[in-house]
Structure 1
Amino acid sequence: MIVAAVLFAYAALLCTLVPRLLRGARWAERAPRLGIVAWQAAGVSALVSAAMAGLALTVPTVRVSADLAQLLQACVMALTAQYASPGGAAAGAAGAVLALAVLGRTAWCAGGAVLRIRRERYEHREVLDLVGRVDPVRGVVVLDHEEPAAYCLPGRQRRTVITTGALRTLDGDQLDAVLAHERAHQDERHDAVLTWARTLARAFPSVPLFRTAEPEVARLVEMRADDVAAARSGRLTTAAALLAVAGGRAPVAGLAAGGSTAACRVRRLIEPDRPLGRARIAAGALTAAVALAVPLLVIGGPAAAASQLNYCPDGTPTAQVSTMR
């Protein structure tokens, strides 16, 4: 019961405290890739902690025996001891419901999101093959449209799409910046990052952590792509390019260089570059790793301690059971 309570409290703490600490954090804007990792680590850790809390209530821990028959007997005795009392049965049932609800809801929403995105990408690629023309020099698909816009369609058969309006508006350096931005999305698989954030937000919309992470991750993903483009073409050139295509929108399955976050991103690029120091990046990465490791350490500690003890060392079954719930 103690382990389950600790895991559940840890998950609740992540879900309520992390959004207040990370939302709009200036350090995340200075190191967007680290910010993305921090949001992902917090989300995964909260999800795993909640699921493990349910499992800890459902399945008791037994002392480990080198003999398989004794180990199986110990497991049966532990389950019998737990579910023999009304309180133990109620706790076990509640834990099973919690674990199944968390894992089942996540799997259902993730599967639906993947299928929907695959279908939308396939349909949009069909349209691009009909109305677009390939520019083999730039490696893009050109659409005849007056509005300056650029976006990418990620996936195995990925596309980088740009309109004729953008080609007329952008100069050579600005066009390179826009294309570098879109290719950064594809190379770093930002679509998968966004799909995971959206999955958790759809699966658990009332949880502050997941609800806040979706727009924050989307903003940081664009900033990360901006940084890749700025490293190639310069910050001011990238800012000018973003202004030119700011009004362009991408299809649901795509990622656009413009969009609703373009204004704050342009302001960020115009300001002096102040990258986060290596020491602070290392500290942030270590914190994210610790956040991921905490649920494993909480549930692994008692299990490791139990593994050092032999169940029924004299060969006589006993009721020495350590219940981890």
Structure 2
Amino acid sequence: MTWLALGGTGGAVALGVVAPVVLLRLRALRAAPRLGLATWLGTALAVVTVLLAVGPLALLADQVPGDPHSLRERFLHCEHVLGSAPLSAGIPVAISAIVGARLVVVGWSTIRRTRSSARRHRMASELVCTPDETTGALVLEHPSPIGYCLPGRPRRVVLSSGALRALDDEELAAVLTHEHAHLDGRHHQLVLLATVLATAVPVLPLLRAGRIQVGLLVERAADESAGRRHGRRVVASALLRMAESRIPEPIPSPAPSLGATESNLRERMVFLLRPSSRPATAASVLVASVTGLVIAPLVVGSGLVGTILVACHVLVRA
């Protein structure tokens, strides 16, 4: 099975390089953020899963016919000769071991650090913030308009006194809906997953770009949720008021939090104020779906076929 492991390795690496070039051009992935999250994270997980699987696959024994006469027997013989080289089996095994080890170490340290930061900030917020019965949020006395959510138990939405002064009732309700959409959608876990993958395997452009895009898409998903309930222009107005009223050095929100105005505000405003028409969005969604279902398997498959053809060519010349 070494030829299959080598092909899978080549196909996964090729997909990790080619996929972000294609996905970044698809506006539908940002217009429909749930589709975007599924596409980016699904593709990233597929690549990492293949890289983890090629090592065990390379260690599986190959079946070899004694006298290769038929086409199938020649193919199996070709497979066996390719797999008999120690280096060809060692490459997938080494890649799987490195990727697996980095995922364990990076994942454990990132999750521990994130939980510790969230716990400390939640305890601090309960000491320095004042509960607001009207909004159900914790109010922090600070002139800059700030709004973010803290996952965990109990879940918290934190607003600054500056935000309460800068926003009217409709805009404040939109900001609260935005933050609750983060909590209900468990967006912090998606961001954490993308961060772990990008940190563990930083050499692949797909994972590096995916980390940025997931951060944008969770904000887009929360914007859409608030826009459906309060109207897109109300959400856009609230984001603009908070961005324009911020002082030069506001209090930074903690790592596990998701703030209303902290990620790609300009691009989010474009989608809020100029939403795609339904026919155009439907066509883009179809293109994105075809890309995920057809192009990705073709890239991985090309790695498999290319490995087989090269191996057979070398054997024929030998």
Equivalent AA in structure 1 for residue 113 of structure 2: R
The answer as to whether partners of 1:128 and 1:141 remain within 8 angstroms in 2 is yes
Give matches, 1:236-247, under 5 Å: 236-246=233-243, 247=246
- Distance change in 2, residues 1:61/1:195 (3 Å): farther
Q: Secondary structure at the match of 1:136?
A: coil
- Residue 45 of structure 1 contacts residue 291 of structure 1 at CA under 8 Å; is this kept in 2? no
Question: Does the 8 Å CA contact 1:181/1:257 hold for their aligned counterparts?
Answer: yes
1 CA distance for matches of 2:275 and 2:28? 14
Q: Give the whole-Å Cα distance in 1 for the aligned partners of 2:275 and 2:210.
A: 27
For the Cα contact (< 8 Å) 2:139–2:158, is it kept in 1? yes
Note the residue ranges of structure 2 that are not aligned, 5 or more in a row: 65-79, 303-318
Q: What TM-score, normalized by structure 2, do the two folds share?
A: 0.78
Which residue of 2 is the match for residue 145 of structure 1?
142
SS at match of 2:144: coil
Residues 54 and 291 (structure 1), Cα distance of their counterparts in 2 relative to 1, 3 Å cut: farther
Name the SS for the 1:152 alignment partner.
Answer: strand
Shift of 1:281: 3.9
Structure 1 match to 2:187: 190
For 1:130 and 1:291, locate their aligned partners in 2 and report how far apart those are by CA, in whole Å.
Answer: 53
Cα distance, 1:220 vs structure 2: 1.3
Gaps of 5+ in 1: 64-81, 299-325
CA deviation digits over 1:257-306, x for unaligned, max 9? 012411221232111453565575467457546789899999xxxxxxxx
Map of 2:126 onto structure 1: 129
Tell me the distance in 2 between the aligned counterparts of 1:219 and 1:155.
22
**Cα deviation, residue 33, structure 1:** 1.1
Q: 92, 112, 135: which is aligned to 1:115?
A: 112
CA contact (8 A) 1:3 1:56 kept: yes
Alignment of 1:214-293 (within 5 A): 214-246=211-243, 247=246, 249-275=252-278, 277=281, 281=285, 284-285=288-289, 288=292
Q: Which residue of 2 aligns with 1:9?
A: 10
Q: Residue 119 of structure 1: SS of its match in structure 2?
A: helix
Which runs of structure 2 are paired with 1:166-205 in the superposition (5 Å)? 166-205=163-202
Rounded Cα–Cα distance in structure 2 between residues aligned with 1:166 and 1:138? 12
Q: 1:180 to 1:294 in 2, by over 3 A?
A: farther
Counterpart contact for 1:173–1:237, Cα < 8 Å: yes
In structure 1, how many angstroms separate the alpha carbons of the residues matched to 2:291 and 2:21? 16
CA distance in 2, matches of 1:286, 1:157: 41
Check conservation: 2:174, 2:238, Cα contact below 8 A.
yes
TM-score normalised by L of structure 1: 0.77
SS at match of 1:245: helix
Mark the CA change 1:47 to 1:140 in structure 2 (over 3 Å): closer, same or farther: same
- Classify the secondary structure of the residue corresponding to 1:151: strand
Residues 191 and 214 of structure 2 are in contact (CA less than 8 Å); yes or no, is this contact kept in structure 1?
Answer: yes
Letter in 2 for 1:104: A
Distance 1:158 1:293, change over 3 A: farther
